Amino acid sequence: MNRRLRLSLSALALAACSSNANTPPAATDAAVTDALSAADVPVDTGEPPPPMACRAGTPWDRSTPAFREVTADWGLSELTAKRMSTADLDNDGYSDLIAWNDVVNTRTDFSRPVTGWLVRVLMNRPREGGAPGRRFVEATRESNFLALRDGTTTRGRLVTAVAFADVDNDGDLDAYTGTIPTAMPTATQDPDPGDRGTILLNDGHGVFSLGPESDATPGPDDAPQTIGAVFNDQNLDGHIDLLVGYHSATFGLPIGQQSQMFRGAGDGRFTDVTDAVGMTLESTSGSLLTVTNNRPLYGISACDVNNDGRLDVIGAAYGRQFNLLMTSQGDSFRDESEASGVGGDDNRDFSDNQTYRCYCAAMPGRCPATVPAVSAGFTCGGRGTWNPSVDERPWRLNGNTFSIACGDVDNDGDIDLYTGEIAHPDVGANSDRAELLLNDTAAGGPTRFRRPGRMATGLVTPSGGGDEGVLSNAMFDFDNDGRLDIWAGGSDYPNQYGWLFVQGADGRFAEVSRAAGIRHMCPLGVAWADFDHDGDMDMVVGTSTARTCGAAWMGRSAVRVYENVASEANWTTIRLVGRGVGGANRAAIGARVRVTTGAVTQTRDVQGNWGLAGLATELPVHVGLGQSCTIDRIEVRWPDARNTVETFTDVRANYGLEIVQGSGRVRYLR
């Protein structure tokens, strides 16, 4: 952390070249770029630019680790947690940490030692006494993050999923927390405490108060199974809206609970507009055949996949059902799940499914004679029985998806996807594996993704021939070379790790977790951020103790902090601030940033939480710049009703930047 050049230049404004333009909501990015290509006009702020801070640009060559485990240095040696999220809670510019264990129906008991609390809020603070570096400091009770409506202070609210955004446009990040209540607990589980979805409003210093009750805060008689949530501005009115994804009311049922879209009023109140915007799906058995059913989701994301300036809804479906893609049409959504290729791959051959082979062995007249015999070592009946009326239908021939990450992997200006899946070898090849989906959507055309295949991309998650799974995932440039890399967080099956794939200059990926020093067994929740402000992305990883993972970690959901020490390549981070009502939401969620250095333009979106339980990175977008010490051009498309675009030229690298909508300037923060 201390090996890098640091320059403290708070509040120094750039004498940048800037322009802004308005385009109609339906304008494509290509049209916006063409209209602005000759519109960059210098703006003289009267202040000099900061010193050049050029680095050698030496790429990480795998000869030394890219990450260093520094858990003790950050004060987290005793922390146990399965799930992670991150956000700047106290508005000091540093990303803080929320870590939790989701135990059925169980609230945090504040009478226990702090190491036994189920939910922890940890602030990123300077070390005491002026010592160099930073640490995470306990702030759970002080933050009031687990407040209860009845005023109880001895226990804290149940939390299973989180999301962050500036709900009331006052300049700080507020929160939503969801739960998975169980109405019929086992003898060893607590009764349902009645905790449900909650809005928390931030006072600007990391202290939260309960937001007003509204449609987004159901009462105890309503028990949605919240698996994830993401804030967005669905109607581009400057107020943050909320998208919440649900699983099934009973695990294993093929019909999921209806996910919901809530429209924000700007004061913490939300109105359910799911039906009004055309997101309502069906809950009948017949809807499975027409693929119009509510899917049991394990993750939910919101990304602009068709370059129209509006966030689209992506649901990660369980039970080998089609994933959900609903593209925003402005005031409504269109279901493009199956046609787009997001729903699943096109492999419909189930002849290698061992349960199907068992069925054929028992009922030989009902199957083709070419169906192979049951493979040696597989016991019929162990995985249930084959039901032709169900298991041979397209809706049962896809994946078990947990998280879908968004990012422009190939630097072609549109958003690609990476799916996280679990798969079992006895089910066969038509059970989708975790893979990359490249965006082939033409301007103004229907949404289309193609799957080049894991062998072609190099994104093969090792499984040793057994069960495999990817529960958490992300796209981020860990080595700052200007190409997005991919994290695939393995599951709790045997021999599953966090797989780190580095992207090469040819666009192929190589798995480097061992060489990178981040071979973490049984990862579950992960938070990505530049926690130490040295220009690269660090990671905090939580651990599962399910199945064989408990023995591997001696029963502890251990947390590990991995500091990035990958390279001396150049970088920038860009914090965007919207105008609020009449412009973009203050957190600028949904903004698109294009950063050009030489012949390469990288695209980044300001994204809220995504995937299982609300995976998170910090809101300022991070861009690796390789050997480039100067940014030729930054283009920001704001998520407002006109898709306003501003551009800035000749910006210096290796600084944190801030751009306030309409200010006409870039501000250097560090």
Confidence of residue 183 (pLDDT cuts 50, 70, 90): confident
For residue 383, the model assigns a pLDDT of 73
For residue 1, the model assigns a pLDDT of 45
For residue 617, the model assigns a pLDDT of 97
Interatomic CA distance for residues 161 and 298, integer angstroms? 11
Average pLDDT over residues 514-527: 96
Residue-wise pLDDT for 148-178, tens only, equals 999 999 999 999 999 999 999 999 999 999 9
Q: What percent of the chain lies above the pLDDT cut of 70?
A: 93
Interatomic CA distance for residues 586 and 636, integer angstroms? 14
Given a cut of 80, is residue 34 above it in pLDDT?
no
Interatomic CA distance for residues 413 and 473, integer angstroms? 21
Ramachandran assignment for 75, one of left (phi > 0), alpha (psi -120 to 50 degrees), beta (any other): left
60 with 80: CB under 8 angstroms?
Answer: no
Given a cut of 90, is residue 598 above it in pLDDT?
yes
568 with 58: CB under 8 angstroms?
Answer: yes
Confidence of residue 184 (pLDDT cuts 50, 70, 90): confident
Q: Which of 460, 468, 459 has its CA nearest to residue 494?
A: 468
Residue-wise pLDDT for 428-479, tens only, equals 999 999 999 999 999 989 999 999 999 999 999 988 778 998 999 999 999 9
Positions of E strands within 339-415: 400-407
Q: Which domains does the chain have, with CATH numbers?
A: 12-59+573-607+630-668 (no CATH), 67-350+392-564 (2.130.10.10), 354-389 (no CATH)
Given a cut of 50, is residue 224 above it in pLDDT?
yes
